[in-house]
A and B are shown apart, each in its own frame.
Chain A
């Protein structure tokens, strides 16, 4: 059922209250009922005691004297709380009845041994009747005494009680429902406010934070929790925005170069070697686009934990030579040198693709950030199994050094020859090294250069 919160609370409360009220009423009614009938019964017993005091038995014969008691008004009249009396002998013959009975008879039992109380209808009126055996001194039952008392008063009390309750019950429930609903509505108000605020937000607009309620209650807690969540979403979103912008920037540079180079190339007829030179440049740019896309793929796979590694012997020298060749153009334009201080037969156990990505990233960083005429050295120490890639570039400030492998971390040093980067390159290096058991560590000194050490035996 699609009920509002306040209505649901009010309904539950009302049902609970209704059940409680019914139980209480039933108890009260029962108490009153029992009390009134006991009262009637005790009246009957009083009457019986008075009457029995005037009855005596002689042998099997009953002796009683008619005196004022038997002729009391209440026994003669039928109106207003009469008391009916009747005496029956053991043969079932009425031997006496009070005048108000006229020609009617009270109900009597043929063989009564114990005294008995019951309700019965008499002349259309409800009466309480007591039947009492009349015994001889020897204990023989020679007749019975029937005393009837009108129940009008008791029934009136009980009926009033019942009517009052039945009239009050729905009113009270209605009132109760209203009050609960109001209270629930007031206590749900901060939640409604939250909903209203939250509804105004969408993916592009989560800037406003929810207003905090005055009381430090659960709603307050909920609000601060939601605000913290929004904060996290926003951080993630701005990071996502930033990375999208950075990646698009990184992709646009080679694309611009490809487009421009080709456009200029076809503006007129050229010599064959010019075509060849430009096409080579374009191929290089396509490679760099491919590299960026590979980075993104590795990142996605790292994120999804979907990266499988196949360790095989890899010739480190050949790999670095290939990387060097890919970066030849850039290095030439900055007059940089890459020295391979590695025996040509150096072999390590690693995943080829992942290791290549590591080398590619480290070399590309050194080339991008390095000074003109800078030098890059790849050194292999066979005894320790450490490959060091050192540059003499601008270096990384000490305070940044512990963070450079963090995702999205960028060292923005004013005045340095820093190139736009996504802050993903070294993170990818660290992750790719980690999953194939290669430890990586960086040292750096400002204006002296940076060294990355890869521990293959680690």
Chain B
């Protein structure tokens, strides 16, 4: 799950990036409006949520949002703002944003809202299953046969991505785009490391792995028989 964060205050973008990455999101940060819009338009398909600060140097969050909406109505947009009147909220939402959160906000609240929006975007619920394996996005838990399984953030994000695309082949480049952020150097071999880790933690003993390798292309979790 990849997020674009457009925020000029580094003190704010730093903790957001750290916190969101710890939750398994890939986060790209732009510190001004123009770069932010450029990133958004170049990677519209890749971003699952765009977080916009309202007041940005170069171009306001409102403008960025309007420009994004010309291209896509799918990607959820959340405004961060220090403005606090109802008019501002209405104005923000009318520009095409899906949600609006006032500074200073609780990180958990932002997280919850991002998850709600992503669920809305994909039209799915937040719980994914494969046989006995259950992944709950909201509570950020994975269990197998009702037993909790500890996953790292990247493992979680990878599993979530594969489960979301259950039955389809997830290409290695696509996995990189969705699970790692833009600064990743596209060495896709890192995926194998995480796939192995997932297999180790979740595979049944003495049977085939629940993640199928499609050689030279990517990976797939099949629909249950």
A interface vs B, CB < 8 Å? 245, 248-249, 252-261, 263-264, 267-268, 281, 284-285, 330, 333, 415-420
Whether A418 and B18, one on each chain, are in contact in the complex, defined by CB atoms closer than 8 angstroms, is no
| Interchain nearest-CB distance for A161 vs B (Å) | 79
Whether A248 and B15, one on each chain, are in contact in the complex, defined by CB atoms closer than 8 angstroms, is no
B interface vs A, CB < 8 Å? 8-12, 14-16, 18-19, 22, 32, 55, 57-58, 82-84, 103-108
Whether A260 and B107, one on each chain, are in contact in the complex, defined by CB atoms closer than 8 angstroms, is yes
| Complex: A245 Cα to B73 Cα, angstroms | 31
Contacts A257-B9, A264-B107 hold; do A417 and B57 have CB atoms under 8 A apart? Answer: yes
| Interchain nearest-CB distance for A380 vs B (Å) | 31
Which residue of chain B is the closest to A369 with respect to CB atoms? B57
Whether B19 and A260, one on each chain, are in contact in the complex, defined by CB atoms closer than 8 angstroms, is yes
Whether B103 and A252, one on each chain, are in contact in the complex, defined by CB atoms closer than 8 angstroms, is yes
Residues of A within 8 A of B11 (CB): 253-254, 257, 261, 281, 284-285
Dominant SS among interface residues on chain A: helix
Whether B15 and A264, one on each chain, are in contact in the complex, defined by CB atoms closer than 8 angstroms, is yes
Residues of A within 8 A of B8 (CB): 419
| Complex: A268 Cα to B32 Cα, angstroms | 31
21 contacts between A and B (CB under 8 A): A252-B82, A253-B11, A253-B82, A254-B11, A255-B103, A256-B9, A256-B12, A259-B107, A260-B104, A260-B105, A261-B11, A263-B106, A263-B107, A264-B18, A264-B19, A267-B19, A284-B11, A416-B57, A417-B58, A418-B57, A419-B8
**Residue among A245, A256, A267 making CB contact with B105, cutoff 8 Å:** A256
Q: A249-B83, A255-B103, A267-B22 given; name 19 further pairs at CB < 8 Å.
A: A252-B82, A253-B9, A253-B12, A259-B104, A259-B105, A259-B106, A260-B107, A261-B11, A261-B14, A263-B15, A264-B18, A264-B22, A267-B19, A333-B10, A415-B58, A416-B57, A416-B58, A417-B57, A418-B57
Contacts A249-B83, A260-B19, A264-B15 hold; do A330 and B104 have CB atoms under 8 A apart? Answer: no
Residues of B within 8 A of A259 (CB): 104-107
| Interchain nearest-CB distance for B192 vs A (Å) | 27
Residues of A within 8 A of B83 (CB): 245, 249
